[in-house]
Structure 1
Amino acid sequence: MSSPTSTLFSPIRVGNINLQHHIILAPLTRLRSAPGTLLVSEATFISQKAGGYDNVPGIYTDAHVTEAVHEKGSFIFLQLWALGRAAETAVLAKENNSPYVSASPIPLPGKPDIPRALTTEEIKEYVATYVAAAQNAIRAGFDGVEIHGANGY
C-alpha cells in the first residue's frame, strides 16, 4: 500500500495533460508554481456585462498571455466568472450601465439590492458568452477552463 505522500508526488493525467504530481494551485491573484504544476487563474469575467467588481481580468478578447507559464513547464486553466447577484450595482452602472441580473430575484444575504431574474433569452446569451470565453481562453493558450459557480455567482 502506498503512503499519502507517495500518491501526492506521483504523476497524474488531467484531461490531456500529464502532471508530475497531484498538487494544483487554486485560483489566486498571484501565480507562483513549480514546473509541472497545474495553475487555475483567478476568477475571470466572461464579458463586460457579467462584471460588477473593479480591477478584474476578462476573457472577452484575444489579448491574453500564457507563454510565461508554459515556458516554466507548467499548465494553466482559466477560471470563468459571471458575478450575477454578487455584483456591485455601482460598478455595473459605471462600466456599461449593465443590468443587475441573476438566476433569480433573490439577493445575497446582507446585500440591499435585489437582482432581476434573467430572461430565457438572456440565459441563452450567457451560455453563448461562456462558450465564446472558453474559445478565447483556448486561443489565448490556456490549457483548459473552469467555471466559478460558488458563493452566489
Structure 2
Amino acid sequence: MTANLLKPYALNNTINLSNRILMAPLTRCMADDNLVPTQLMAEYYARRAEAGLIISEAVIIRPDGQGFPNTPGLFSPAQIEGWKIVTAAVHKNGGKIFAQLWHTGRVAHPYFYGNGDADASVLAPSAIGVEGTVPRMRELTYKIPKAVTVEEMKTLVADYGQAAENAIKAGFDGVEIHGANGYLIDQFLHHDSNRRNDEYGGSSENMVRFPLEVIDEIISKIGADRTGLRVSPGAYFNMTGDSKDRAVFDLLLPELEQRNLAFLHIGIFDDSMEFDYLGGRASSYVRENYSKTLVGVGSYSAEAASSAINDDKFDLIAIGRPFIANPDYVAKIRNNEPLTSYSDEMLTSLI
C-alpha cells in the first residue's frame, strides 16, 4: 500500500532523493547556549538519514530572530562548524539534509538577544503583537513589535542570503525558507499581521514583495535548485485569517512557479483543516494553483500519504512527530512494521 513512498524522486537535475519521505522540520531546543549544534544533534539526525530528505529544525538567521530557547543558529563561525558535524554525519549515512532558515518576527523575544535590555526591538511588518507567552518559557510574555523599516528590510534580505551561503558552507544540500506558521515572512503575507501602507503592504502586490525579495536573494546566492519554501496560505497559528489573504497567495503562487524552486512545502499542523477563503484544504488550494513539486504535511499516516500521492494531491510527504518516535521510520514502512507511538515526553531528549 505504501510502495510509492519508497520510490526515488528527482527534485531537479542537481538533487535526487532516494524516496519520497521527508523528515519535517521539528523544533527541539537542544542547541548549546551559544546556539551551536551539539554532537547529540548530529547523532539524532544521522539516525534518520534514510529519509529521502531531512529538513532541519528551524535555524535562526540572526540573533533577533530567536523566539524559543536553545534553537540553533547559522550566523556565527561556531554555529557553522557545529552544523558541519551534523551534515557530515547525515551524509556518512547516505542521507541529504536542507537547513530551514528562520526569523520568528513578532514572536521573537529580547530575552534571547537583548543583552539584558528588555526593551530591545522585536521586528515585524507592523506594530501588531500577539497574545501569550514564549513556548517552554511561560514566564516571558510577547512584546509589541516595531514595524520594520525599509532599510531594515534590506538588511534582513541580505542576512537571509548570507544564512543560505552559510548553510552551503556548513555542508547542507540546500535550504528551505521558513515562510509559514506565523513567523516573519508569513507575517508579511496575511492582512492580520501586515497593516502597512507603504510598498510592502496594503495590496497583494506589495504584500508579496518582501518574501519574493528574500527568495530571489537566496536563489542568487545558492541557486533555485537548492532552494525550497514553506508557506501557510491558511492563517491558523498566531494570526487570524482574512478573506483578502486569498488574493495575496493567488498572486504569490504564480510568482513562485516561475522561480523553479526545489519544492514548495505546505506549512500546516493538520491538513484536514479547511479554510473558507481557500475553498477547503490549504494543500488542495496550493495544488490547484501550483504545478511543480509539492510537499504535503499535517498528521498523515504512511497509508494516507501514499493514497494522496497516488491521487496527485502532492508529490512528497513530510513526516513530523512519528520521526521523533521512530528514527527508523523509513525502514519500518518498508518492512510493514508497527510504529512506536509519539508522546510528549519524547521531547525531553534526543533519541
Q: Is the 2:64–2:122 Cα contact (8 Å) retained in structure 1?
A: no
Of structures 1 and 2, the larger Rg is shown by 2
Q: Residue 103 of structure 2 corresponds to which residue in structure 1?
A: 82
Q: CA deviation at 1:104?
A: 1.4
Q: CA deviation at 1:112?
A: 5.2
In structure 2, distance between residues paired with 1:34 and 1:75: 7
SS of structure 2 residue aligned to 1:91: coil
1:14-56 C-alpha deviation (Å, 9 max, x unpaired)? 2322112100001123534243631011000101132243211
Matched ranges for 1:3-152 at <5 A: 5-15=2-12, 16-28=14-26, 29=28, 30-31=44-45, 32-35=47-50, 37-61=52-76, 62-63=80-81, 64-65=83-84, 66-94=87-115, 98-110=120-132, 113-152=143-182
Q: CA deviation at 1:91?
A: 2.5
Q: What is the total number of aligned residue pairs between the two structures?
A: 150
SS of structure 2 residue aligned to 1:33: coil
Higher relative contact order (CA 8 A, sep 6+): 1
Q: Is the 1:80–1:130 Cα contact (8 Å) retained in structure 2?
A: yes
Per mean C-alpha deviation after superposition, the further-off stretch among 108-117 and 140-149 is: 108-117
Q: CA deviation at 1:107?
A: 1.1
Gaps of 5+ in 2: 29-43, 133-140, 184-351
Q: CA deviation at 1:96?
A: 7.8
If the length of structure 1 is used for normalisation, what is the TM-score? 0.86
1:66-97 C-alpha deviation (Å, 9 max, x unpaired)? 11100000000000111111112332323787
Q: After the TM superposition, which segments of 4 or more aligned residues of structure 1 sit over 4 Å from their partners?
A: 95-98
Between the aligned residues of both structures, percent identity stands at 44
Which amino acid is the alignment partner of residue 59 of structure 2?
A: T
Which amino acid is the alignment partner of residue 119 of structure 1?
A: T
If the length of structure 2 is used for normalisation, what is the TM-score? 0.40
In structure 2, distance between residues paired with 1:10 and 1:132: 34
SS of structure 2 residue aligned to 1:24: strand
Which amino acid is the alignment partner of residue 19 of structure 2?
A: H
Q: CA deviation at 1:150?
A: 2.2
Aligned in 2, Cα 1:34/1:58: closer, same or farther, shift over 3 Å?
closer
In structure 2, distance between residues paired with 1:152 and 1:87: 11
Which amino acid is the alignment partner of residue 89 of structure 2?
A: A
Aligned in 2, Cα 1:7/1:95: closer, same or farther, shift over 3 Å?
farther
Q: Is the 2:109–2:143 Cα contact (8 Å) retained in structure 1?
A: no
Which amino acid is the alignment partner of residue 33 of structure 1?
A: R
The structure richer in helix per residue is: 2
Aligned-pair RMSD on alpha carbons?
Answer: 2.1
SS of structure 2 residue aligned to 1:142: coil
SS of structure 2 residue aligned to 1:93: coil
The structure richer in strand per residue is: 1
Per mean C-alpha deviation after superposition, the further-off stretch among 59-68 and 124-133 is: 59-68
In structure 2, distance between residues paired with 1:90 and 1:5: 46
